[in-house]
Structure 1
Amino acid sequence: MFGYYFRLGVRSLRRNPALTALMVLTLAVGVAASVSTLTILHMMSSDPIPQKSTRLFVPLIDPGPVKGYTPGERPEDIQITYQDAMNMLKSGQGVRRTALYGVEASVEPPRREIAPFNMGGLAPTRDFFAMFDVPFDYGQPWTEADEARAADVVVLSRAMADKLFGDVNPVGRRLNLMGFPFTVVGVTAKWKMLPRVYLLQGGSPYVTGEEFFIPLPTAIRHETQHRGGMSCSSNVGPGFAARLASDCTWITAWFETASSGDRGDLQSWLDSYAAEQRKLGRLTRNAPNQLFDALGWMEYTHVVGKDSQLQTWLSFGFLALCLVNTIGLLLAKFSVRATEIGVRRALGASRTEIFRQFLIETAVVGLVGGVLGLLLAFGALALIRMSSDSMAAVAHMDWEMLGLTFVISVGAAILAGLLPTWRACQVTPAIQLKSQ
């Protein structure tokens, strides 16, 4: 019976091509607007590392002074001090630990046809690559011995390695970085984490990846300036050593635990550590020590802004407006078929069968509108990708959103068709037959 009603619906739509086209276009525009904005919100708020996001934790300790502090207020920065980061690396907590900050370095390409340029990268410790599942095309991360002696070694992204050395394995070759000869020890495969949850300072969280990695101790030895924000509650003396000893926050630390259930133990250690530091005269605010998993960290740092959420709600409001127009068109369409409904009712069709027939007809409108809406959504996302690099990284539709497009379209059409279909079921056969 479904197939029969489906064919009736298609024939009915063909009888009124102009009205059908107007309904399909109205629905398609609403679906395209809502799906394109929902796709961007979906990509922005997606779990960047779902296989272990509940086992990765970032600590937050407030080292600011008591003066001007109101208990319970949000910390001024989302990073920690260098000395706290180093203590956490030495703590032995979790199965892996890393501390990192964004860096920028000048590079002298070995290929003479390329002029020197600056590239952006990261200065983490070795565990970073295993913690965030960074794949490698060539080589591997630097060794523990390299990290311990702050060796001049570098890991390049695949795109940067191809630019500097061509399509060859560059492991073992030298590269002048920051005026010093660095040895290439590895090349990462094409890898990007969206959003870039491991470092939410120094640019958009939706950049396509780091161009190079150097060991954190190496960056400190070369006094490499950070790329990103830094917050200081008091004046810092001159020199890089003064920054390291200060309470300026400019480092991000991460822990990886064996299971999500180890969070309580890690929180207990963090509280104990803060208590010990207070005995040394630090952390005088006595603010709560916070620990966030990956998704919690995204929420706390407002990775997805309220403006993006508002745009999504507005797009669904536009879809609702399109549905109101579709309801009006369906009412007009079904009203002129009152005679047909009266004849079917007189021949024995029940109200349930009439309801089912017209509801399937509206579903056909939704299906066609979904196909057109999907094409319009792809076009809208293509235009959005042209607006900025950040948007280019997130304005992509995955299979989940592809299926949701048809669910929204057909569901919206059925919702719009409920009132017209119910009105069609109320047709009295005797009155319609008598008027003919």
Structure 2
Amino acid sequence: MFLYYLRLAAKSALATPGPTLLTIGAIALGVAIPTALLSLRQVVAQDPIPSRSDRLFNVRVDNWEVGSQFYGVGEGEPPKHIAYRDMAGLMASDLPRFRTGVATARAFVFPESATLRPYPAMIRLCHADFFPMFEVPFRFGGPWNRAADQAQERVVVLSEASNQQLFGGRDSVGEHVRLGSETFTVVGVLDRYRPTPQYYDVINNAVGEVRGFFVPFDTIRSPGIGLTQTGDTDAWGDFPRNDYLAILDAAEFNWIQYWVELDSGSVAAYRDFVDDYARSQKAIGRFPRPLNNQVTPLMEWMRLRQVVPPAVNGLVILAVLFLVVCCLNLTGLLLGKFLARSGVLGVHRALGAPRSAIFLQRLVECELVGLAGGVLGLGLAALALGWIEKLAPGGPVPPGLFAASGYTFVVALALALAAGLLSGLYPAWRACRIPPAMQLKLQ
């Protein structure tokens, strides 16, 4: 019976191509906009590391001055970064399974190949635990160890893109790369790695390419090395601005995101450790504000940092309302189309077709048109996502990041079916209520 209704629906839709095409176009436009926005939201809001997101925590301590607020955080929130001296103090705890600071530096890269010119690059400062904590995959070699962190060894892990650029994609473990004024030995090369979002650094690089070079964090301490700290920073108080080590060791200069991995049984004890550390700093004259330390789970951290901007949620709501308005307008168009065929429907009723059959037949026609609009809307949504990818704020994003996916298809299909149902319910109900006797008289 359904196939019979489907044939009748196709025949009816083709019999009135003008209204049918107008309906398909309106549904396509109404479906495309929310589909693109929902797909965009899904990309940036998804759990980026489901296997261990419940064990990853961002750590903050409130070293800020009384009477002012750190840039870009809510009222009463501690700074979104910590100072180098606080990272060093927090590293003393053995409670976390893994722990790492995360920050960004910049330096010039001097390739050994005579065919490549020096170029500026962004450098990821991190500790050895960064790689197992965030499940970073390797194609060649592996990460350095904690001993290399302590010794400030000149070792580097290359991203896939940097290895391709410098060494043609071959196994470059053991090769040398000059960063700034010193030479680093390659110990590992990443496999394809593109977490979305880059949850370990949503402040500076949420959706961009991963940094091309990863080096032990404390190499930044070496004067004259040619690595310069960069990224989102803020500071307060007096400190010798020309003394680089004093800035690291004594200044209230916040620029580091600090991450730990804790099992569920260690979280409370670690929070106590952080509070005890803050009290020890108060005792020496730091941390003038009341204790306000935060050990924040990964997904909560992403929410606090508004990885999904509030404007996106507002746009999604507006887009869905736009689809509803399209459906309401199409209701009038479909009602006029069905009533124009009231004579045929009256004959069907007079020949014994029940109201339910007439209702279902009209509804199948509406859903068929809705599906056609959904297919067209899916194509428009894919084009919109490609456009968003090119114009993404913060610089270019990895190719294909916002490409149409299975999620996009499911959303478009669901919205198309909902649009067909919403547009067709009332016209189908009116069509099944046409009195057969009156139509036979008119015939």
**CA shift at 1:384, angstroms?**
2.5
Counterpart code for 1:40: L
- Counting only pairs closer than 5 Å after superposition, residues 20-419 of structure 1 correspond to structure 2 as 20-68=20-68, 73-75=75-77, 77-202=79-204, 204-222=205-223, 224-237=227-240, 238-244=242-248, 245-259=250-264, 262-388=266-392, 389-390=396-397, 394-419=401-426
Shift of 1:269: 2.9
- Which segment is superposed worse, 261-270 or 206-215? 261-270
Calculate the TM-score normalised by the size of structure 2. Answer: 0.92
Question: Any conservation in 1 of the 2:63–2:289 contact (CA below 8 Å)?
Answer: yes
Identify which range, 378-387 or 11-20, moves more after superposition: 378-387
Q: Do the aligned residues in 2 keep the contact of 1:14 with 1:20 (CA within 8 Å)?
A: yes
Q: Secondary structure, in 3 states, of the residue corresponding to 1:22?
A: helix
Tell me the CA shift for residue 76 of structure 1.
6.4
Residues 278 and 291 in structure 2, CA contact (< 8 A), matched pair in contact too: no
Contact 2:64-2:79 within 8 A present in 1 as well: no
Number of residue pairs matched by the alignment: 433
SS in 2 for 1:198: helix
Query: In structure 2, what is the Cα distance between the partners aligned to 1:103 and 1:371?
Result: 46
Kept in 2, the 8 Å contact 1:100–1:123? The answer is yes
Which stretch shows the higher mean deviation, 207-216 or 271-280?
271-280
**Distance (whole Å) between structure 2 residues aligned to residue 392 and residue 166 of structure 1:** 20
What residue identity is the alignment partner of 1:221?
S
Q: Distance in 1 between matches of 2:239 and 2:357?
A: 80
Give the deviation of 1:232 after TM superposition.
Answer: 1.1
Segments of 5+ residues of structure 1 without an aligned counterpart are none
Could you tell me how far apart the structure 1 residues matched to 2:84 and 2:371 are?
57
Write the deviation string for residues 365-401 of structure 1: whole angstroms up to 9, x where unpaired: 1111111111121122222323241496642222122
Shift of 1:140: 0.4
Contact 1:384–1:391 at 8 Å: present in 2 too? no
In the aligned structure 1, how far is the partner of 2:40 from the partner of 2:368? 28
Take 2:114 and 2:425, find their aligned partners in 1: how far apart are those partners? Answer: 70
Aligned in 2, Cα 1:80/1:268: closer, same or farther, shift over 3 Å?
same
The residue identity in structure 2 corresponding to 1:60 is R
For residues 440 and 278 of structure 2, the distance between their equivalents in structure 1, rounded to whole angstroms, comes to 86
- What amino acid is the match of 2:211? E
CA–CA distance in 1 between the matches of 2:413 and 2:68? 54
- Partner deviation per Cα, 1:256-281 (whole Å, 9 max, x = no partner): 1234x643343333233323332333
Structure 2: distance between partners of 1:364 and 1:391: 37
The Cα of 1:225 is off from its aligned counterpart by: 2.2
One-letter amino acid of the counterpart of residue 259, structure 2: W
| CA separation of 1:78 and 1:402: change in aligned 2, threshold 3 A | same
Q: Deviations over 1:381-432 (max 9, x none)?
A: 2223232414966422221222121111111111111111111122112222
Inter-CA distance 63–315: structure 2 relative to 1 (3 Å threshold): same
CA distance in 2, matches of 1:6, 1:250: 63
Distance (whole Å) between structure 1 residues aligned to residue 112 and residue 148 of structure 2:
23
CA separation in 1, counterparts of 2:326 and 2:84? 55
Letter in 2 for 1:325: N
**Displacement of 1:230:** 1.6
Q: Secondary structure at the match of 2:289?
A: coil
Contact 2:99 2:130 survives alignment (8 Å): yes
| Contact 1:207–1:393 (Cα < 8 Å) also in 2 | no
The letter for the 2-side match of 1:53 is S
The 3-state SS of whatever aligns with 1:249 is strand
Deviation of the 1:195 alpha carbon: 1.3
SS of the aligned residue for 2:105 comes to: strand
Instruction: After superposition, give the CA deviation of every residue in 1:300-342 in whole Å (9 maximum; x if it has no partner).
Output: 1122222222322232232222212221221111111212222
Contact (CA 8 Å) 2:61, 2:79: kept in 1 or not?
Answer: no
Measured in 1, the distance between the counterparts of 2:293 and 2:148 equals 33
